[in-house]
Amino acid sequence: MAEKEGAKVGAEEMEEREQEGEAEEVEVKFRLFDGSDIGPVRCNAATTTVAALKDRVVADWPKDKQIIPKTASDVKLISGGKILENDKNVAQCRAPFGDLPSSAITMHVVVQPSSAKSKPDFRSILYPQRCM
């Protein structure tokens, strides 16, 4: 119970800082599928969006990897077990974790190329005569 109260206080404190216009600098590290990292990158939690972080990941992506995202839409960022939405800022995505340092965040990166996102047309596979 005390942990939940501490988390509430942390969230309320962050909201107050945002409303007062305090710029909270955070350090974000991106963990790739093979365990390697990009970063750390310093950013303002209140003004940096998830979309901007995705652009940064694509720009800083190591060239020696077999899987390389072509655009930011090929990248999914996961933090705290949740897929982050592009229009959210970093402060909105963070979950207060009690005693952990408030300035360090590790986000996991999943690459899903655009071609993998489109679903195959199973009708053409199952019924090739009907689709012609």
Confidence of residue 3 (pLDDT cuts 50, 70, 90): very low
Mean pLDDT of 72-94: 89
Structure tokens at 52: 């901007």
Mean pLDDT of 32-45: 90
Q: pLDDT over 90 for what percent of the chain?
A: 33
Which residues are CB-neighbours of 124 under 8 A, at least 6 positions away?
131
Identify residue 18 by its one-letter amino acid code: E
Question: How open is the CA angle 16-40-7, to the nearest 5 degrees?
Answer: 30
Identify residue 124 by its one-letter amino acid code: S
